[in-house]
Amino acid sequence: MMKEYIDEAEKALLHTYNRYQVVLDKGDGVYLYDMEGKRYLDFVSGIAVFALGYNNKAYNDALKAQIDKLIHTSNYYYNAPAIEAARRIKAVSGMDRVFFTNSGAEAVEGAIKAARKYAYLKDGSTDHEIIAMEHSFHGRTMGALSVTGNPKYREAFGPMIGNIRFAALNDYDSVLAQVTDKTCAIILETVQGEGGIYPAEEDFLKKLRRLCDERDILLILDEIQCGMGRTGYMYAWQRFDVKPDIVTTAKALGCGVPVGAFLMTERVAQNSLTAGDHGTTYGGNPLAAAAICKVLDLFEEQKVLENVREVGPYLAERLEELTGRYDCIETHRGVGLLQGLVFHKPVGEIINRALDKGLILINAGTHIIRFVPALVISKGDVDAMIEILDSCIEECYTDER
Ligand SMILES: *Cc1c(COP(=O)(O)O)cnc(C)c1O
């Protein structure tokens, strides 16, 4: 049965993903089920999206109620869920203004436009530069791709948007070397996800903040993957005493309803995008906004941050044990429930074996297994995951040890 669907998918869908050979059908808590009823423990959560786990009744009910009331209306009119969602996002982020988008990439596009407009209003010129980081990932649209520090993703699609310079994460001098009178923004993920789970260090972020203040450059933090509680803080920069000028957020923000946002301080808002400068048909529609409101309610009710602070270190501890036991593992790193296990070899075979054994894992690059589970997982779920992963590593590498 699954095979027929897969064959059809391979004829009908554009082949932009090498998909795992499974058709997922339903979810419940930290488990997914395929069309044949097989159960999987899920440590991917739709890539850091389903923070609250699948089939959360309160969340589902809130969506159903909003569907029966009003799903969409234009941004030319006000709607209460969007206003409440903005108030709630402001409260948890400490930022002042919100623009809702439909995806992460679109939030990055908006952030870039806001930064360019801010600089344009200062000197009337349109040749400003943005500094981005090597190994970064900001999305697949042309602007987001232009600041993505992975040449492989960009290569075939040039020309990129102009005036982007790359520096190395956590190497302040490499950033300084790229700063010119034309620099309008520095964009980075507070913890790099896709690029290999590299956290930005406190000292580096503080130096960037000081540099930006001195030169009137805008600091843009992409919190699309590392934000929304994943590090044990609502936003990852909140671990440190550093505040960005513009933030991008998405993924777990809607917990499955496609939504994102870019946020800014009042100072940037007053000196950048204004009526007619930017727009979106769907962004912040009542259904998406209702999802955000309920997600933020449930984060409090279910004490999600507390859970991440307890289970995140436990996951790190269990990964440390594995690292000590296998020569094929180089190291592990990460923050909270955004962790990576770095191998000396490609991890594709381990991930395929895990899938066979009912465990869903994902890579970040070829050599890293990335752990981005629901934020409500328990230590018992971690133990169950480690047991399966351990046996997969053992089977894959036993001959070579
Ligand atoms: C996923 C991701 C994006 C892109 O988000 P989409 O919703 O896929 O467009 C951008 N930045 C980071 C850090 C991400 O992890």
Q: Which tens digits make up the pLDDT trace of 258-292?
A: 999 999 999 999 999 999 999 999 999 999 999 99
Ligand 1 test: best mutation among 137, 141, 169, most atoms within 8 Å of CB? 137
Question: 338 CA distance to ligand 1 centroid (A)?
Answer: 14
**Is residue 377 predicted with pLDDT exceeding 70?**
yes
* Secondary structure (DSSP) of 284-326: T-HHHHHHHHHHHHHHHHTTHHHHHHHHHHHHHHHHHHHHHH-
Environment class of 278 (CB within 10 Å of its CB; exposed 0-12, middle 13-18, buried 19+): middle
* Token reading at 326: 């296998």
Q: CA 311, CA 309: separation in Å to the nearest integer?
A: 6
Q: CA 367, CA 293: separation in Å to the nearest integer?
A: 37
Question: 138 CA distance to ligand 1 centroid (A)?
Answer: 5
Question: 214 CA distance to ligand 1 centroid (A)?
Answer: 30
pTM: 0.97
Question: 235 CA distance to ligand 1 centroid (A)?
Answer: 15
pLDDT score for 399:
53
Tell me what the mean pLDDT of segment 239-261 comes to: 97
Residue 249, SS3 per DSSP: strand
* Token reading at 269: 């808002």
232: left (phi over 0), alpha (psi -120 to 50) or beta: left
Domains of the chain with CATH codes: 2-55+303-400 (3.90.1150.10), 70-301 (3.40.640.10)
Amino acid (one-letter) located at 251 = K
Of all atoms in ligand 1, which is nearest to the CA of residue 250? 7
Question: Using a 6 Å cutoff on CB, does residue 381 contact ligand 1?
Answer: no
Question: 297 CA distance to ligand 1 centroid (A)?
Answer: 23
Q: CA 71, CA 66: separation in Å to the nearest integer?
A: 7
Question: Using a 6 Å cutoff on CB, does residue 149 contact ligand 1?
Answer: no
Question: 38 CA distance to ligand 1 centroid (A)?
Answer: 29
Q: CA 287, CA 347: separation in Å to the nearest integer?
A: 38
Environment class of 365 (CB within 10 Å of its CB; exposed 0-12, middle 13-18, buried 19+): middle
Of all atoms in ligand 1, which is nearest to the CA of residue 258? 7
Question: 222 CA distance to ligand 1 centroid (A)?
Answer: 9
- Do residues 110 and 263 touch, judged by C-beta distance below 8 A? no
List, for residues 302-359, the tens digit of each pLDDT value. Answer: 999 999 999 999 999 999 999 999 999 999 999 999 999 999 999 999 999 999 999 9
- Give the residue, by CA position, lying nearest to ligand 1 atom 7: 104
- Give the residue, by CA position, lying nearest to ligand 1 atom 6: 104
* Token reading at 320: 């440390």
- Do residues 360 and 54 touch, judged by C-beta distance below 8 A? no
- The fraction of the chain above a pLDDT of 70, given in percent, is 99
Question: 225 CA distance to ligand 1 centroid (A)?
Answer: 7
Chain centroid, CA 14 distance in Å: 24
Question: Using a 6 Å cutoff on CB, does residue 139 contact ligand 1?
Answer: yes
List, for residues 138-163, the tens digit of each pLDDT value. Answer: 999 999 999 999 999 999 999 999 99
Q: In the 8-state DSSP scheme, what is residue 159?
A: S
Residue 360, SS3 per DSSP: strand
Question: Using a 6 Å cutoff on CB, does residue 138 contact ligand 1?
Answer: yes
